[in-house]
Structure 1
Amino acid sequence: MDDDTRPEQDHVLRDAVTLPLLIIPRDRRTTRVAATARRPTIPADALEIVDPPPVTEPDQAVNTSAPPASSSARTADPDGADRPSVEARARRGRGGSRVNALWTVFDQVVSSGTNAAINFVIARRVDPTEFGAFAIAYTIFAMVVGLSRAAATAPLGISYADVPLGAFRSAVRQAAGTALMLGAAVGVLLMLVGVGMGGTVGTNLAAMGVIMPALLVQDAWRYASFAQGRPLLAVANDLVWAAVLGAGLWLLATVAPGGVGGSATMVLVWGVAAAVAAQVGVLQHQAWPQPRRAWAWFTGHRETTGFMTAEFLSLQGAAQTSTLVIGAVGSTSLVGALRGLQTLLAPTTNLAVALMSFSIPEFSRRRHLPAQTVLRGAYLVSGLVVVSSTLWGLAFVVLPDDFGAALLGDTWAETHQLLLLAVIAQAGPCLAVGPAAVLYAFGRTRLTFWINLAFVPFLLACPLTGLLLGGARGVMIGNIIVYWATIPPWLYHLHRQVRLGARR
């Protein structure tokens, strides 16, 4: 569910930045962290009898103090079996964590390639007008899948990364059911709108509506695999999707070599491949989605799902509005150049998404590690993203113009002029990836929401002000100012949470 052309990934790094925030007064009645304080909603007919995650108070930082020396290396499992303690598992799992991180990044590559493939194939098989119709439907999918992650699967990595298998499967059933319900609701709406509109755009919207439930459920299984610390399951699932998609597109090309059926037909093939992968996910996790528990899942974790959903909507709204305003005040060529920058730098965004997917459950499982260990982990994640993104961007800066023109055509000239400024700008939000992952992992979604909400007005104002004062280069300078100005608050809140935990 992540590709080099996804609008929501174009702004993922924006989601990791913020502006200074006044400390919100503590209110234990309204700020209990549901992700850790509430009992997970277990269906009445569940086969497993499980215990909830531990209770965490609202302003309570993660207990990063080391356990007593006399603590046992094993702790009782609520399912009746012993399992290694957090500290023992952390010591034994360092090598495995590195391997899991690599598999998570690899899965992001596979997933991005699968979704990029449908964009490239359709772009080559249809005319620009029909590809534009597909792009509209795909943009809606990109927004909805981001919403699904916030509303359905986010609690898995935050609250269920280190619970017994019975509790995890029960949670996965409900999370996947929530994704299924969201996909069904949006799918029906898209089909109605598509049928009402007619034409190429309406056909593509209707086709996207048909496959939306399969897309969201497959994405839910992927994130369940990350939360469980088993990214190989996600890799296998995405490889199934890629294989079925390749076979379907080959069969379609064989049956209709002239492109009969158009983009909507290829969208349906893409969705069939996702549906097959979703069925594989059922086998992998030995769990069926439970859509009837969707509302209970969402409300039972509303501190996580509610704030992350609101955060996603506000940031995406600001990002899309900013692009529209720049296009209205500036020019469509400038919007094209900005889109070209997003396309070139998309692999670094994908890396940030992969490391975030890996880091949140890993930090959640290691919330009792010493404070300095947590801080080093956060800085390591940020450092990996900053270094890789900078090197990737600089490679395009020094490449010959002929190579860039082959990638972006006439858009390359203006894109190349802004590329160095874009590399500087993106390094800012990259620095915030590690701190953001820690705060998400520790259930501080209320805090991250307010941090990001404070960023929204500046996301709108700074690029527009830069456009009025300095044209295209002014837009990028405005981004540099706001992105880098937001780093200190992330670092402050990261250290504050760790410091409070050490005092306790």
Structure 2
Amino acid sequence: MRARTAVLCSVADQGVAALTNILVLVAAARLTTVSDFARFSAVYLVFTVLLGASGAYTGQPLVLRRGAGEEARSACRSAVAFTLLASAALGAPLAAVCALLPGGTAGGLAMLGLVLPAVLGQDAVRYAFSTLQLPHLALLSDLLRLAGAIAALSAQTYGASPARLIAVWGLSALPALLLSAVLLHRATPGARVRLRPMLRRGHLGQRFTVEFAVGNATAQLSVLGLGAVGTPLLIGALRGATTLFGPLNVLYTSATSFGPPLLGRIGDERRRVRATAALAAVLAATAALWATVLALLPDAAGRRLLGDTWPAAAALLPATGSQYAAMAAGTCGLLALRMLDPRTTLALQVVFSLTAVAFLAGGYLVGGVPGAAWGLFLGSLCKAAATWTRVARLRRRGPDPADAVSAAASPAAP
């Protein structure tokens, strides 16, 4: 596939994935009360953490591979098979335990455990298609995923429980998963499934999962913690605000996950870093523009989007918009570091993720929910500054052949 066509298909695919994500949350907000949306948001936040961890362990090492030879085809099949087995092994006990607990949140988590293989498996195949340089197949799968999710949620009535919405949303991924499995089977004829390398010490996904755990997952679980000890509506308010920035959120995640195969087409390292910096500027400007559009949105239109959750989410738009602009720079900075030396990002993630949690908690203590939102912005700003400072130092140092890291494995972290 030509480079321009691949880029267009990848961008379109990320747009469809973003639209699916935001419409699911918009539908849930419109179909539930404020308290039920907070419960749904808590469950969806857990899913987001699991999705990120799955992508970090299997997807991100996969897309760092180059070429579409036998080794890459085998790695793609293995990554998808591993994701399905691991999600089933995790989802079954989650469903069994939460089914015994009372409350709407527990019921939603039980349903999430049952549908986890479907939703994580479908996402894993997207990484495989990106690695095989077949983004048009990922686009086809995600279009079916979008149609299935919207059709299923549109059939629900107001007052549906979080558990019912999670079940409907998860099962709607099955057609897209089946189609993706057939397409992947045809794209990787004869490729063997090897699960053992993915469990070996030194697999690069282990490092990326640790980075995710101390990075994105730490901040998201901190929101859950503040919602538990403070006000549960904190989760709904923050989730409602970030829902409005859903397309940007998915684009940022996709930049890290699917950017390497596209930027890898640029032969010169200096040009790759410059292209990544330009991408950061474009995404930051897009975040600022989108925040401005949302701030000017009439109250009636906002309520059509988020229902009863709109007033709380609208109050957080300035802080959330600023956070997403800072996240654009930080995400692209991490992408540049991944291409220069994947081992350099772990320390940054640890230090500045803990910093973000401190800002989040401190902001909540000082200014309540708006203060927590501004705390998230400060954490993202600090991480962005640190990542690009590190990129500049690596560029001045120049390439070191001893620092080359395989996509399959890296030296164990000390």
TM-score class, shorter: 0.7 to 0.9
The letter for the 2-side match of 1:434 is C
Residue 280 of structure 1 corresponds to which residue in structure 2? 179
SS at match of 2:133: coil
Match 1:489 to one of 381, 386, 391: 386
Between the two structures, name the one with larger relative contact order (CA 8 Å, sep ≥ 6): 1
Tell me the distance in 1 between the aligned counterparts of 2:294 and 2:37: 27
Residue 220 of structure 2 corresponds to which residue in structure 1? 320
Residue 13 of structure 2 corresponds to which residue in structure 1? 107
**How many residues in Structure 1 have an aligned counterpart in Structure 2?**
399
After the TM superposition, which of the residue ranges 478-487 and 102-111 deviates more from structure 2? 478-487
Tell me the distance in 2 between the aligned counterparts of 1:327 and 1:132: 9
Tell me if structure 1 keeps the 8 A contact 2:30–2:307: no
Match 2:115 to one of 173, 192, 211: 211
Match 1:451 to one of 348, 365, 370: 348
Residue 79 of structure 2 corresponds to which residue in structure 1? 175
Tell me the distance in 2 between the aligned counterparts of 1:395 and 1:475: 23
The letter for the 2-side match of 1:153 is G
- 5 Å matches for 1:192-231? 192-197=96-101, 203-231=107-135
Residue 234 of structure 1 corresponds to which residue in structure 2? 138
Alignment RMSD: 3.6
Residue 48 of structure 2 corresponds to which residue in structure 1? 142
TM-score when scaled to structure 2? 0.81
Match 1:299 to one of 177, 194, 200: 200
Tell me the distance in 1 between the aligned counterparts of 2:173 and 2:291: 32
Structure 1 residue runs of 5 or longer lacking an equivalent are 1-92
Residue 429 of structure 1 corresponds to which residue in structure 2? 327
Tell me if structure 1 keeps the 8 A contact 2:121–2:177: yes
Tell me the distance in 1 between the aligned counterparts of 2:383 and 2:145: 38
Work out which of the two has the higher radius of gyration on C-alpha atoms and give 1 or 2.
Answer: 1
Cα 1:218–1:498 change in 2 (3 A) is same
After the TM superposition, which of the residue ranges 164-173 and 324-333 deviates more from structure 2? 324-333
SS at match of 1:432: helix
Residue 372 of structure 1 corresponds to which residue in structure 2? 270
- 5 Å matches for 1:411-430? 411-413=309-311, 415-430=313-328
- 5 Å matches for 1:326-475? 326-327=226-227, 331=231, 336-366=236-266, 369-408=267-306, 411-413=309-311, 415-442=313-340, 444-471=341-368, 474-475=371-372
CA drift at 1:373: 0.8
CA drift at 1:389: 0.7
CA drift at 1:281: 1.8
Cα 1:467–1:296 change in 2 (3 A) is same
- 5 Å matches for 1:126-165? 134-158=40-64, 160=65, 162-165=66-69
Tell me if structure 2 keeps the 8 A contact 1:340–1:412: yes
CA drift at 1:186: 1.2
Cα 1:372–1:322 change in 2 (3 A) is same
Tell me the distance in 1 between the aligned counterparts of 2:56 and 2:247: 22
Cα 1:289–1:313 change in 2 (3 A) is farther
Tell me the distance in 2 between the aligned counterparts of 1:418 and 1:365: 39
CA drift at 1:237: 0.8
Tell me if structure 2 keeps the 8 A contact 1:157–1:227: yes
Tell me the distance in 2 between the aligned counterparts of 1:321 and 1:305: 21
Tell me the distance in 2 between the aligned counterparts of 1:289 and 1:199: 48
Tell me if structure 2 keeps the 8 A contact 1:100–1:229: yes
SS at match of 2:245: helix
Deviations 1:343-392 (A, max 9, x none): 222222222223333312223454xx334312211111101211111100
SS at match of 2:194: helix
Whichever structure has more helix as a proportion of its residues is 2
Cα 1:314–1:288 change in 2 (3 A) is farther
The letter for the 2-side match of 1:235 is L
After the TM superposition, which of the residue ranges 408-417 and 180-189 deviates more from structure 2? 408-417
Tell me the distance in 2 between the aligned counterparts of 1:377 and 1:193: 47
Among all aligned residue pairs of Structure 1 and Structure 2, give the percentage whose two residues are the same amino acid.
29
Tell me the distance in 1 between the aligned counterparts of 2:368 and 2:158: 41
Deviations 1:456-496 (A, max 9, x none): 22112223333444555544544444333333321232233
Tell me the distance in 2 between the aligned counterparts of 1:339 and 1:243: 23
Tell me the distance in 2 between the aligned counterparts of 1:247 and 1:411: 23
After the TM superposition, which of the residue ranges 164-173 and 331-340 deviates more from structure 2? 331-340
Tell me the distance in 2 between the aligned counterparts of 1:264 and 1:472: 26
The letter for the 1-side match of 2:115 is I
Tell me if structure 2 keeps the 8 A contact 1:181–1:291: no
SS at match of 1:338: helix
Residue 52 of structure 1 corresponds to which residue in structure 2? none
Deviations 1:130-171 (A, max 9, x none): 66665554333222221111111221111x2x2243121101
Tell me the distance in 1 between the aligned counterparts of 2:339 and 2:82: 21
TM-score when scaled to structure 1? 0.68
The letter for the 2-side match of 1:380 is A
Deviations 1:298-356 (A, max 9, x none): 42652x21111111122245313542565477655555443332222222222222333
Cα 1:283–1:325 change in 2 (3 A) is closer
Cα 1:330–1:290 change in 2 (3 A) is farther
Cα 1:291–1:146 change in 2 (3 A) is farther
Residue 404 of structure 2 corresponds to which residue in structure 1? none
Tell me if structure 1 keeps the 8 A contact 2:28–2:37: yes
Tell me if structure 2 keeps the 8 A contact 1:150–1:305: yes
